[in-house]
């Protein structure tokens, strides 16, 4: 890809990210509008002028904020549309690379079409049920693929949707490399200097590096299905199995990352990145701001991760008038209930995490997105049930120091 196209793509990604953040804030406007509407309905004739004025002022401010928000969203969408058109024209103007010649594209398209065919979907469903061998399914493709059996295209979309629905894993960078993935990171390094010509030699940088290793493990989930479910049509069966199992496995991936953040030490070592800690004994307006101050300069796209009940505690305090500003500093909140809620946390427990998921975390799936299935038709035979065990080989971990901050009680 030419330099201009790369720059356009980078700018486009940045604007799309900004738009996603703004669209997430729409939920806050809806919640606040509902609260104000309820407050107006509950006001009685005995309400004081000050109370009525306060509600009227809140409604006016909300309308102004929402109008400003909608203007920004509209402007960003127009800019994104313009950039997408410009990028498309730039890419079309470039010379077609050798590995993208018409014959290569045609062969790839033939495989995609084959994977959409009823014959392939039916064969893949029988493979999942244990009634067909992998080689028989691969043989239906234009090119006899090796390794994991490619899933039908509509199954890919089910998996993609499951990734996108999870607020945490949707932001993590993913790779599909065989074996253990080792990534280097900088623990410390000396700054650059401004050097005058002819003056003393530049001092060589003192650089301390570390390496983190992502070691894949099987993320497994079993589900019991009736024999009637096994007799469903191929598409209905695959949609049922993949929708349930993909969601559960992706949720587990998010939980594993949260556990890695919780287990991390505060200081980086040669084999692990550090995660700073701040303490806050109560839900406070400045808690998130203090956590942001501990992040590294490279963590420039942070989000907040917390239990839904903790979010409710922050919002309740805000609406009660304890906070006159947004306690979340305008950042999107991602929910994960494997983190303890503030109300259930004891002294020393983490109840909030703040960090840049795209910069500070990575997942690796050596065998791609496909699931590996094992069927047990014997154990629950008398109950008319079949156990389906799905496995995905994967690893997730922290790859950059000070990319996350823990808030402990």
Please report, for the domain that includes residue 313, its CATH number: 3.90.1690
Q: Which residue has the higher pLDDT, 112 or 343?
A: 343
**Domain check: are 171 and 70 in the same one?**
no
d(CA 281, CA 401): 25
Query: Per-residue pLDDT averaged across 58-75, rounded?
Result: 81
For the record, the structure tokens of 162 come out as: 């499951």
Short-list 301, 279, 274, CA closest to 291: 279
Same domain, 305 and 158: yes
Asked, for residue 119, whether it belongs to a domain, the answer is no
Question: Which pLDDT score, from 0 to 100, does residue 280 have?
Answer: 95
- Residue range 169-189, pLDDT digits in tens: 889 988 888 878 888 887 776
Region of poorest pLDDT, from 28-32, 100-104, 243-247, 378-382: 100-104
Q: Is the pLDDT of residue 205 over 70?
A: no
pTM over 0.75: no
Q: Strands, E, within 283-399: which ranges?
A: 303-306, 333-335, 350-355, 361-364, 372-376, 385-398
294 and 328 Cβ atoms separated by less than 8 Å: no
The string of pLDDT tens digits covering residues 149-174 is 778 888 888 888 888 888 898 899 88
Most confident region among 317-321, 352-356, 378-382 by mean pLDDT:
352-356
- Domain-embedded: residue 318: yes
Q: Does residue 375 share a domain with residue 227?
A: yes
The pLDDT tens digits for 295-314 are: 999 999 999 999 999 999 99
- Helix residue ranges per DSSP H, 116-233: 118-128, 134-138, 153-165, 227-230
At 98 the pLDDT is 42
**344 DSSP assignment:** G
Distance CA 84, CA 95 (A): 19
Cα 262 to chain centroid, rounded = 18
Angle between helices 234-263 and 118-128 (to 10 degrees): 60
Helices 3-42 and 49-93 meet at what angle, rounded to 10?
160
- Contact call for residues 264 and 402 (beta carbons, < 8 A): no
The average confidence (pLDDT) of the chain is 82
Instruction: Number of helices (H) and strands (E) in the chain: give both, helices first.
Output: 11, 12
Report if residue 291 sits inside a domain.
Answer: yes
Q: The dihedral of CA 16, 17, 22, 24: what is its sign? A: positive
Number of domains within the chain = 2
Domain assignment present for 108: no
Establish if 142 belongs to a structural domain: no
Q: How confident is the model at residue 144 (pLDDT cuts 50, 70, 90)?
A: low
Residue 111 has pLDDT above 80, yes or no: no
Say yes or no: 183 and 322 in one domain: yes
At 142 the pLDDT is: 61
Domain co-membership, 12 together with 157 = no
Instruction: Select from 69, 95, 121 the last residue of a domain.
Output: 95
Assess whether 87 and 173 both reside in one domain: no
Q: Under DSSP, is residue 77 helix (H, G, I), strand (E, B) or coil?
A: helix
- pLDDT on residue 97: 46
Q: Give the single-character DSSP code of 9.
A: H
Question: Is residue 161 located within the same domain as residue 267?
Answer: yes
Domain span including residue 48 = 3-95
* Residue 143 falls inside a structural domain: no
310 found inside a domain: yes
What pLDDT score does 377 carry? 82
Q: Where does a domain end: 48, 66, 95?
A: 95
Per-residue pLDDT of 246-288, as tens digits, reads: 888 888 999 999 999 999 999 999 999 999 999 999 999 999 9
- Picking from 95, 129, 159, the residue at the C-terminal end of a domain is 95
Q: What are residue 255's phi and psi, to 5 degrees?
A: -65, -40
Query: For residue 107, is it within any domain?
Result: no
Percent of the chain clearing pLDDT 70 (strictly above): 85
Examine the domain organization and report whether 297 and 157 are in the same domain: yes
| Least confident span in 14-18, 42-46, 352-356 | 42-46
pLDDT at residue 93 tops 80:
no
Residues 177 and 77 in one domain: no
* Higher per-residue confidence, 369 vs 335: 335
CA–CA gap between residue 187 and residue 31 (Å, rounded):
43
| Residue-level pLDDT at 321 | 84
| Same-domain status, 268 and 367 | yes
Distance CA 275, CA 356 (A): 12
pLDDT at 199: 65
Contact criterion met (CB below 8 Å) for 170 and 163: yes
Whether residue 292 is found in the same domain as residue 183: yes
Q: Are residues 21 and 160 in the same domain?
A: no
């Amino acid at each position: 890809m030419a330099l201009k196209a790369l720059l356009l793509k980078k700018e486009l990604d940045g604007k799309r990210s900004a738009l996603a953040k703004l669209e997430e804030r729409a939920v806050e406007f809806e919640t606040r509008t509902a609260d104000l509407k309820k407050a107006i309905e509950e006001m009685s004739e005995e309400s004081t002028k000050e109370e009525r004025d306060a509600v009227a002022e809140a409604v006016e401010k909300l309308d102004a904020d929402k109008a400003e928000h909608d203007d920004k969203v509209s402007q960003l969408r127009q800019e994104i549309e313009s950039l997408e058109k410009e990028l498309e024209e730039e890419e079309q103007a470039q010379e077609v690379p050798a590995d993208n010649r018409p014959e290569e594209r045609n062969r790839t398209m033939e495989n995609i079409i084959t994977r959409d065919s009823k014959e392939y979907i039916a064969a893949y469903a029988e493979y999942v049920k244990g009634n067909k061998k992998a080689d028989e399914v691969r043989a239906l493709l234009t090119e006899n693929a090796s390794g994991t059996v490619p899933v039908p295209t509509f199954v890919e979309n089910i998996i993609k949707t499951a990734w996108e629905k999870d607020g945490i894993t949707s932001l993590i960078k993913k790779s599909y490399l065989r074996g253990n993935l080792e990534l280097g990171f900088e623990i410390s390094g000396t700054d650059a200097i401004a050097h005058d010509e002819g003056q003393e030699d530049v001092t060589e940088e003192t650089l301390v590096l570390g390496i983190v290793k992502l070691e894949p493990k099987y993320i497994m989930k079993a589900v019991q299905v009736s024999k009637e479910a096994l007799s469903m049509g191929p598409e209905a069966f695959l949609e049922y199995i993949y929708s349930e199992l993909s969601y559960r496995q992706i949720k587990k991936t998010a939980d594993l990352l949260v556990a890695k953040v919780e287990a991390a030490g505060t200081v980086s070592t040669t084999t692990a990145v550090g995660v700073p800690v701040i303490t806050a004994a109560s839900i406070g307006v400045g808690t998130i701001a203090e956590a942001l101050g501990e992040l590294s300069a490279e963590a420039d796209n942070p989000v907040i991760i917390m239990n839904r009940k903790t979010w409710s505690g922050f919002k309740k305090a805000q609406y009660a008038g304890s906070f006159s500003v947004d306690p979340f500093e305008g950042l999107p909140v991602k929910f994960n209930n494997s983190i303890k809620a503030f109300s259930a946390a004891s002294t020393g427990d983490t109840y909030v995490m703040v960090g840049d998921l795209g910069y500070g975390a990575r997942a690796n799936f050596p065998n791609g997105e496909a699931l590996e299935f094992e069927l047990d038709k014997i154990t629950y035979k008398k109950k008319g049930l079949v156990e389906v065990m799905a496995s995905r080989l994967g690893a997730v971990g922290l790859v950059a120091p000070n990319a996350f901050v823990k808030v402990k009680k």
